[in-house]
């Protein structure tokens, strides 16, 4: 079985306060983007995991695809599988590609082994993998609260717009991004802002991580300014960064940022 795990951007991200459990209370809109990895799973006599495409750093036992298999096998006693991931979504940049891969493993195993797990159960399992994993059970556009696992669908039609995704290779760890947070006051919720006209997003739709991240990495602030100069309706950092994205009415130019030496740049029609 072959499926194509997608990724997401954060349309606004309010960090409201630190919780007693050590996590932070969030308010954000996660929006699915048509940029995909490729994941294949087939039954096997022994467990195997392999990958191609972009190199996946770190210990393989920390890979969310393997963790997802372990969750399902421990809870439902499924047989072994052979799994191959072709990685195309940039890692560690706030796009949730790894989270999507892990969640798609849950969904695929549910189908392959006819486990008949409900979406709510899959979301519960996905939340064991990470805070933004549950989003990818249904994807689309959803308001995420709590630590990212409390999801509510929201109608958001960006069909016909273009999105440019740019990553210039700066690594920002999520703990470091949170350590620099200065809690902001927010007059409106993310839902209220998203439901307003897209022309108002530039002034009102904020990612709270930008305040601290841009202090350390001014080049990202410069990149955001250039995205607007190029004609973007809205530009932002996704998640805790460092991937930047911009939304356009018309097809943007693709050679604008060569002077910044982006390691990844792609334009997609939504």
**Catalytic entry in 101, 132, 145, 208:** 132
Q: How big is the chain by its Cα radius of gyration, in Å?
A: 19
Single pTM value for the model: 0.92
pLDDT at 239 over 60: yes
pLDDT at 205 over 90: yes
User: Which tens digit of pLDDT belongs to each residue from 162-174?
Assistant: 999 999 888 887 7
**Catalytic entry in 8, 107, 206, 224:** 8
User: Which tens digit of pLDDT belongs to each residue from 57-68?
Assistant: 877 778 999 999
Q: Give catalytic status of residue 132 as yes or no.
A: yes
- Report the alpha-carbon distance of residue 105 to residue 108 in Å, rounded: 5
Give the confidence band of 221 by pLDDT, cuts at 50, 70, 90: very high
Q: Which domains does the chain have, with CATH numbers?
A: 2-153 (3.30.230.10), 162-269 (3.30.70.890)
Give the confidence band of 238 by pLDDT, cuts at 50, 70, 90: very high
User: Which tens digit of pLDDT belongs to each residue from 111-140?
Assistant: 999 999 999 999 999 999 998 999 999 999
Q: Give catalytic status of residue 77 as yes or no.
A: no
Q: At what angle do helices 97-112 and 119-129 cross, to 10 degrees?
A: 140
Q: Which residue has the higher pLDDT, 148 or 85?
A: 85
């Amino acid at each position: 079985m072959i499926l194509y795990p997608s990724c997401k951007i954060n349309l606004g991200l309010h960090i409201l306060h630190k919780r007693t459990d050590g996590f932070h209370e969030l308010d954000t809109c996660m929006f699915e983007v048509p940029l995909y990895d490729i994941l294949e799973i087939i039954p096997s006599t022994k467990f195997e995991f392999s990958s191609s495409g972009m190199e996946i750093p770190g210990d393989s036992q920390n890979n969310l695809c393997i963790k997802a298999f372990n969750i399902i096998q421990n809870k439902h006693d499924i047989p072994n599988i052979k799994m191959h991931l072709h990685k195309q979504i940039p890692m560690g940049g706030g796009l949730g590609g790894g989270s999507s891969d892990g969640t798609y493993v849950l969904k695929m195993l549910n189908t392959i082994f006819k486990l008949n797990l409900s979406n709510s159960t899959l979301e519960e399992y996905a939340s064991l993998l990470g805070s933004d994993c549950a989003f990818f059970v249904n994807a689309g556009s959803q308001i995420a609260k709590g630590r990212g696992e409390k999801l509510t669908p929201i109608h958001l039609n960006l069909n016909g717009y273009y999105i440019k995704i740019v990553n210039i290779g700066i690594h920002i760890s999520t703990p470091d991004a949170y350590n620099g947070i200065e809690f902001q006051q927010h007059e409106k919720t993310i839902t209220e802002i998203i439901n307003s006209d897209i022309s108002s997003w530039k002034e009102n739709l904020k990612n709270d991580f930008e305040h601290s991240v841009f202090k350390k990495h001014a080049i990202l602030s410069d990149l955001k300014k250039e995205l607007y100069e190029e004609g973007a309706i809205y530009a932002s950092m996704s998640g805790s960064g460092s991937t930047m994205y911009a939304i356009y009415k018309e097809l943007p130019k693709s050679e604008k940022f060569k002077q910044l030496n982006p390691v990844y740049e792609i334009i997609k029609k939504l």
